[in-house]
Structure 1
Amino acid sequence: MDGIFTNLKRTFSSGNILAKLIYINVGLFLLIRLTGVILILINQDKFPFLQYLQMPASPEMLLHRPWTIITYMFTHFDFLHILFNMLWLYWFGGLFLSFFSERQLGGLYLLGGIAGGVLFMIVYNVFPFFTNVASRSFLMGASASVMAIVFAVSFYRKDLEIMLFLIGRIKLIYLALFTFVIDLLAITSTNAGGHIAHIGGALFGICFAICIQRGMDLTVPMNRLLDWVVNLGKRKPKMRVTYRRPETDYEYNARKHQESADLDAILDKLKRSGYESLSAEEKKKLFDASKK
């Protein structure tokens, strides 16, 4: 068992940011499901802790659980939900890394998820169709983050084509726009929150692509914040100060006298037996003395 965890830890540490994101999502999904099984076995509510990982539509509740605007984008409950999200993340995340850096992928994942969460909360508290259910509506899943990545690549390289089964080659931007229209039409469906978050992530991905083409990287502030947070957890090396007692005149004169005596002995040996008879240490002392 220790070997399995060691291998997983090594794989996680050596993997790129795309692998790390997938590991975190899948790991949290397995933890949630396993915890649910244990709670069922002891006759407890299956998933009471999910509300502390999902993002609420209620601003008041979000103020009490501010971390959920981050945790929600790594939280999944249904197997098919995480399966399709991770497949899209793997495919389009790899495509994204063909044009951008790992730091940009990580930053865009977080910012796209935040954009989706913010739009979800705004829509649920502004439009009368949703206001009655806002207090008991929650959001979870990586979909908004994935949509940000898909649309960033699509609008950065509008000529990029992909191969689809039974359809053939199609421009990626057409696929992205098709999913955008589907989300718009499904805003009033039973999964309205998810579709709204998709739109928020997609819009941020478009903004990222446009800004990159104009020389501005929207992920820089987020990555600086992440660097600051990571550095907070690192211990700063303690400065070690050593104190040496100053050498007295007597000690100085004694040391110099001994060095002179040692050098005289080496010179006598050199005169009697030649340079090759000297030891390595004696040769070093002779060399050091010649430089003074």
Structure 2
Amino acid sequence: MYNRAYGSNFSGGIWNGIKNSFKQGTALTRLIYINIGVFLIIKILEVFFVLAGQRGFEQLLLPYVGVPALPERLLYTPWTIITNMFTQFGFLHLLFNMLWLYWFGSIFQNTFSSQKLTGVYLLGGITGAIIYMAAYALFPAFEFERYQSWAIGASASVMAIVFAVCTYHPNYKIYVFLIGPVKLIHLAIFTAVIDLLSIPNGNAGGHIAHLGGALFGYLFTLSFRRNLDLTKGLSSFFTKLGNSRPFRKKTMRVKYKKKVSDMNDMEYNEYKKRKDDRINSILDKISKHGYESLTKEEKEILFKSKSN
């Protein structure tokens, strides 16, 4: 699905390709594009700021895009509870966040759904921001620092997705360079421990926010296994938004309206693989948690596959 979307979208040029892939792509594609787009806008504005003979652009911008450590400041910049999770000032900060988002976001979408990915990203980032503000308000170590601290970055949101995946597939193995196969649960624990131990060494607020995002991802999967979706409200909102008239012709479902009999070999193989992967995922869920753990949608998919 990923290769198909990009393979055809860029035939009309880079800019048209970007617009088409954003409109027709998955939630993962859009989240990555938004993060990269915000980063580029900030860097372009910084260029003009420097050319005008000014310095300190990032420090000037930070209070308007970053979530403040002082909760009362949030009353004056409420939008920062969202903008902070799409803002990175450093290229390496952006790069590593987007790599983790791509790797684990791909697994997340195959396990859950595109709408839930967006919900976990947003709610994980919000949870990270709340825990960040709470920690700076409660702990004496931040008594003076809280007056001049703001948090930015997608890390808390990404950590929510990472921990949601690692909690759902704890024994799934990935190959780490120079180490070999590592279970996702071990990777999650290692990442959380590193963040916890790094709090005294600088960027304490960032590490605390990461742990907040990780906590939400963990709770999301635990709740999902009990048929409770913590992102249900947001998922419904995005579904209604996608079905609304201005967006109806732009949703991903448009490209699946082609009949199976009209598909070429490549399209049919892709369609078949997507369908088989979905069925295997449902069967795997049944073997681990029983038939009752399935959602209504998953039961319908399984029923239709048996009747075909």
TM-score grouping bracket, smaller chain normalisation:
0.7 to 0.9
1:97, CA displacement in angstroms?
1.3
Is 1:85 matched with 2:97?
yes
CA distance in 1, matches of 2:79, 2:239: 18
Contact 1:53 1:71 in 2 (8 A): yes
Q: Calculate the TM-score normalised by the size of structure 1.
A: 0.76
In structure 2, what is the Cα distance between the partners aligned to 1:189 and 1:118? 21
Whether the 8 Å contact between 2:104 and 2:161 is mirrored in structure 1 is: yes
Matched with 2:234 is 222
Query: Pairwise mapping of residues 191-210 of structure 1 onto structure 2 (< 5 A)?
Result: 191-210=203-222
Question: What does residue 144 of structure 2 align with?
Answer: 132
Deviations 1:197-221 (A, max 9, x none): 1100000000001001111111112
Give 2:275's aligned residue. Answer: none
Structure 2 counterpart of 1:8, from 18, 21, 40: 18
* Counterpart contact for 1:111–1:222, Cα < 8 Å: no
Structure-1 residue corresponding to 2:274: none
Deviations 1:135-172 (A, max 9, x none): 11010000001100110011112221111111111101
Shift of residue 228 of structure 1?
A: 6.8
Q: 1:4 deviation in Å?
A: 4.0
Distance in 2 between residues matched to 1:4 and 1:55, nearest whole Å: 34
Larger helix proportion of the pair = 2
| Residue 27, structure 1, aligned to residue 40, structure 2 | no
Aligned residue runs from structure 1 range 58-137, under 5 A:
58-137=70-149
- Distance, in Å, in 1 between the alignment partners of 2:165 and 2:238 is 23
Residues matched between the structures, number = 234
Counterpart position of 2:180: 168
CA distance in 2 between partners of 1:233 and 1:58 (Å) = 41
Question: Is the alpha carbon distance of 1:44 and 1:228 closer, same or farther for their aligned partners in structure 2, counting shifts above 3 Å?
Answer: farther
Q: Please identify, of 183-192 and 211-220, the stretch whose mean Cα deviation from structure 2 is larger.
A: 183-192
Cα distance in 2 for partners of 1:190, 1:220 equals 36
| SS of equivalent residue, structure 2 residue 99 | helix
Asked if structure 1 preserves the Cα contact closer than 8 Å seen for 2:67 and 2:152, the reply is yes
User: Can you list the C-alpha shifts for 1:53-99, whole angstroms capped at 9, x where unaligned?
Assistant: 11111111111111101000000000110000000000010111121
Contact kept in structure 1, 2:22 and 2:29, CA below 8 Å: yes
What is residue 190 of structure 1 aligned with on the other side?
Answer: 202
RMSD after superposition = 2.0
Distance 1:230 1:70 in 2: 20
Distance 1:197 1:155 in 2: 19
Identity of matched residues, %: 51
Distance 1:230 1:39 in 2: 38
Partner SS, residue 170 of structure 1: strand
> Which has the higher mean CA deviation after the structures are superposed, 37-46 or 165-174?
37-46
Question: Are the counterparts in 2 of residues 158 and 173 from structure 1 also a CA contact under 8 Å?
Answer: yes
Q: Structure 2 matches for 1:223-262, cutoff 5 A? A: 223-226=235-238
Q: Is 1:116–1:198's contact at 8 Å kept on the other side of the alignment?
A: yes
Separation in 2, partners of 1:18, 1:188: 33
How far the C-alpha of 1:229 sits from its partner, in A, is 7.4
Write the deviation string for residues 171-212 of structure 1: whole angstroms up to 9, x where unpaired: 011011001011111122221111001100000000001001
Q: In structure 1, how many angstroms separate the alpha carbons of the residues matched to 2:227 and 2:98?
A: 30
